Amino acid sequence: MKPVRFSIIGGGWRAHFYLRLAKMLPHLFEVSGVYVRDSDKRQQLQAAWNVNTPSTLDKLLNASDADFIVLSISKQAVAPMLLELASTSIPILAETPPAANLEQLLHLVANMPANARIQVAEQYPFYPHNQARTALLAAGKLGEPVHLQVSAGHGYHGMSLIRRWLALGNEECTITGQRFESSIMEGPYREQLPQEERFVASSQDVALFQFEGGRSAVFDFTREQYFSPIRQNRVLIRGTKGEIIDNRAYYMADFETPIQGKFTRIQSGGEGSLGPLSLEGIVFEGDWLYRNPVHPTAFTDEELAMTQVLLHMADYARQGISTYSFMDACLDTYLAFMMDEAIHTGHRVVADLSFIRK
């Protein structure tokens, strides 16, 4: 199969991830063009990545033979650009979130054409360990999911995991929340490393979601979890027959037989392996719950998740198979906005999803 071709609108930190994936996986992906408004940035992108950088958006759209366009611009600019691009025949993969605030989100949903071909690049459900957890849930080992405690991503990222693992659609919910302020030793951030011991402010957001039908979730996150080695992610998924706690699972094979096991990460390139440093997959009780589709490429889990997003987008562009739709993203973003309201006001918030149901 020929490589998937995509164009990129935007040239920031996240756009460089897509360029890097295409460079590392030329048999799968090819970048047909990158558009940014700044002429100096266009020259830098052309020099660094050897890509076509048209001087206007119209030139990118008119000359493009891409299967789809990746929209990777500031969150304030995404919604207006999505409405501008919705009338084109080219499928769009928009970076998260689809809107910067509630007013913008409601306007976007109300004005989006029904035939718009849009998916959203929510990568968190496609991290290897999250795919493994989803696979165990889908196998029915835990029975029906009833409660989550998720500390693995901020805002809409956390909501995407909560809705996926609780098998939620557009059920209404009530939300209560609180922010806790503390301090933490400064750690790394993107390409920056700390140069001395220094303590900085840290905010922790905690929220309780109670959904129609009795399912519930606790959201708990602090931004330091993205880079700091002293703030780790945590996941609890409870079902009627068992639970997952981080990378262990406990469930009942029958009414009298408890089973427990560990998610085992199989990776080449470690001690005794002359292969590349690459994740092969994740095994539980002798079964592969996740297989890396691009092994033996040396990728981080973030890059593997983004690769999966691009592969899903290729399926959408070529076959119409939707994985994370525009409306999925709007639901998760709306619930994240409602969570912020509950945290900032201290009031119990009822999330009314009627705007999605219209």
pLDDT above 70 as % of the chain: 99
Cβ atoms < 10 Å from Cβ of 122? 28
Kindly list the distances between the CA atom of residue 147 and the CA atoms of 12, 14, 143, 165, in Å, as whole numbers in the listed order.
37, 32, 12, 9
Give the pLDDT score at 270: 87
Helix residue ranges per DSSP H, the chain = 13-24, 39-49, 57-63, 75-85, 102-111, 128-138, 155-165, 301-319, 326-345, 354-357
Give the pLDDT score at 273: 83
Give the pLDDT score at 181: 96
pLDDT tens sequence across 223-280: 999 999 999 999 999 999 999 999 999 999 999 999 999 999 999 998 888 888 999 9
The answer regarding whether domain 4-123+314-325 maps to CATH 3.40.190.10 reads no
Cβ atoms < 10 Å from Cβ of 346? 10
pLDDT tens sequence across 31-55: 999 999 999 999 999 999 999 999 9
- The answer on pLDDT for 26 being more than 80 is yes
- The answer on pLDDT for 124 being more than 60 is yes
- The answer on pLDDT for 358 being more than 70 is no
Mean pLDDT, the chain, as a whole number? 95
Reported confidence tier of residue 288, pLDDT bands at 50, 70, 90? very high
Q: Which two tokens stand for residue 165?
A: 């693992």
Task: Tell me what the mean pLDDT of segment 124-140 comes to.
Answer: 98
Does the pTM exceed 0.75?
A: yes
Cβ atoms < 10 Å from Cβ of 194? 12
Give the pLDDT score at 357: 57
Q: What is the dihedral of CA 246, 332, 335, 176, to 10 degrees?
A: 0
- The class (CATH top level) of 125-297 is alpha beta
Domain ranges of the chain: 4-123+314-325, 125-297
Task: Tell me what the mean pLDDT of segment 68-73 comes to.
Answer: 98
Task: Tell me what the mean pLDDT of segment 165-184 comes to.
Answer: 95
- The answer on pLDDT for 63 being more than 80 is no
The half-sphere exposure of 50 on its side-chain side, counting CA atoms within 13 A, is: 3
Higher-pLDDT residue of 17 and 89 is 17
- Rounded CA-CA distance 307/253 in Å is 35
